[in-house]
Amino acid sequence: MTARSRPLRPFWVDRVVDRWRSERRRRGRALYPRRVTRRCTPFVTGFAVLALALGGCAGSSDDTGRPDPPEDRPVVSLTYSMSSALDSMTGTERVTFTPDRRVCELVFRAWANKPLTASTGNSLTVRDVRVDGAALPLSVSAAGAPTGRPGTLVTARLPACSPAGTPVTADLSYAVTLGAGTDERIGYSPRDRIAWLGTAFPLLAWQRGVGWVTDPAVAVVGESATSEAFRLERLQVVAPAQDVVSGVGQEQGEPSSAPDGRRVHTFSADAVRDVTVTVGNIVRSTAKVGDTDIVLSLPRNGSRATAQEWTSRLTAAVTALEARFGPMPFPSLWISVLPAVTDGVEYPGAVQFSDVDPARERWLILHELAHMYFYGLVGNDQGRDPWLDEAFATYAEELVSATPNAADCRPAPSGVGRSLASFAGGAGKDDDYVDTVYEGGACALHRARAAGGAEAFDQAVREYMRTRAWTVAQPADLAYALRDLPEAVAVLRRAGALPPAAGTGSGVTG
């Protein structure tokens, strides 16, 4: 199904997926035939006993031994210059990266031009890409963008090919238009005077060991961005003086004054894969959970829950996830509650949340924060292997909240390991995607854990997280971590999560 063969919906990715899941729950359409509401009670049987008794009751201690992000990771600097109405911005980007193979062009993705974001008026237009001061010839391909809109794939041909191992630095300028009331990762609310800018810059499309990732955007409720972890050397947001900015990583001092009276807000982050920023009439508050700073932003016009209620739920979620998966991979979590959007979208060290009641939507808080480990820390190609972050985030959410798992869960209707694009065109493609990748994927993981033994499985997952930290993982990497648990591997193979020949991965793919 193409993006234009049916009315476009003004929402996308986790937000949509998670909304459906919450609607199902509200409608009473059980995700599981039997619902167990307990914690560690002995009335469940079979796999569930194993899963709950051995793993679901107590948080595993975690000696992560995580490596630092790669020394030679890309380095990015961004400037966002906001318009007075917060309905557009102009941006600059400097990116330096060291390709591990010869390159003859530079490729960037303009994800704001994906079908469901473009349909609500958002756009990202790359004006120029320069290397050593010289503008490169640009080629922009739709790659899934609607006809007549800027494309998602921007290619800049280098004057001469550059050998592997040689750093390349490019300077870009670009313009972003925001869609009013967009129920999506990028947009703005004129009524509340808040803009949210997720993936609002040209994202370098390089993947170590793979090369340029150029898969078209598809109109399925999932995302297809892929990015190595990069060092965000500097993010400068130039915003009207009355506006507050919620950024990423560490804030670099107090905002300074620009010559035109606007304020310059500066941030940096050691390792992220993507960036979101919130600007406008918001109120920020901070809290500390262990070593993690939570920076919460609520609409100044009011929100369903108070800052205290949000902080309480966020704190509980961080504590629960850390008990099982180790310290949060990011020193700061920038949490934005947004007026026009639904449910949540994860970013490394940041989440965009809907204006929900966090006490009622505890699962949503857990799910999005679980993405800090599965997607943020252990990256994946979200178009090719969406289950590696979505199934794991759902699994983590359920494991931590002790939702029933192995015995009671609903298996995927088709292969868990399907790519996002493979769902395009099917009837009920979005429900199919959720059932297969989120729910079915989590079910496969719960059953693999029960089959392999919870303790051994947890240890293998920790090895996977440790060895693949700050990389873009592939299913073979998980198979390698599970190499001593053939029963678990067999479960994941049968579910189509791992390929038939899995178990022979090197564990080092780049």
Q: Which residues bind Zn ion (CB under 5 A)?
A: 14, 390, 393
CB of 393 to Zn ion, least distance (A): 5
Please name the amino acid found at residue 157. Answer: R
CB of 9 to Zn ion, least distance (A): 17
Q: Where are the beta strands (DSSP E) in 118-210?
A: 123-131, 134-135, 138-141, 153-162, 168-177, 186-189, 194-198, 203-204, 206-207
3-state secondary structure of 257: strand
Nearer residue to Zn ion within complex by CB, 14 or 361:
14
Nearer residue to Zn ion within complex by CB, 184 or 192:
184
Most distant CA atoms of the chain, gap in Å? 70
CB of 21 to Zn ion, least distance (A): 10
Nearer residue to Zn ion within complex by CB, 293 or 439:
439
Nearer residue to Zn ion within complex by CB, 215 or 390:
390
What is the 3-state secondary structure of 260-310? CCCEEEEEEEEEECCCEEEEECEEEEEEEECCEEEEEEEECCCCCCCHHHH
Nearer residue to Zn ion within complex by CB, 170 or 335:
335
Do 325 and 465 form a contact (C-beta atoms < 8 A)? yes
CB count within 10 Å of CB 220 equals: 28
CB of 316 to Zn ion, least distance (A): 19
CB of 255 to Zn ion, least distance (A): 32
Rounded Cα–Cα distance for residues 51 and 460 (Å)? 15
CB of 411 to Zn ion, least distance (A): 19
Nearer residue to Zn ion within complex by CB, 80 or 433:
433
**DSSP secondary structure of 419-488:** -SGGGTTSTTHHHHHIIIIIIIHHHHHHHHHHHH-HHHHHHHHHHHHHHTTTSEE-HHHHHHHTTT-HHH
Alpha-carbon dihedral of residues 413, 417, 422, 428, nearest 10 degrees? 30
CB of 189 to Zn ion, least distance (A): 23
For the chain, the C-alpha Rg in angstroms (whole number) is 22
Nearer residue to Zn ion within complex by CB, 14 or 215:
14
Nearer residue to Zn ion within complex by CB, 392 or 457:
392
Q: Pull the structure tokens for residue 176.
A: 């972003």
Looking at beta carbons, which residue is closest to Zn ion? Answer: 14
CB of 365 to Zn ion, least distance (A): 12
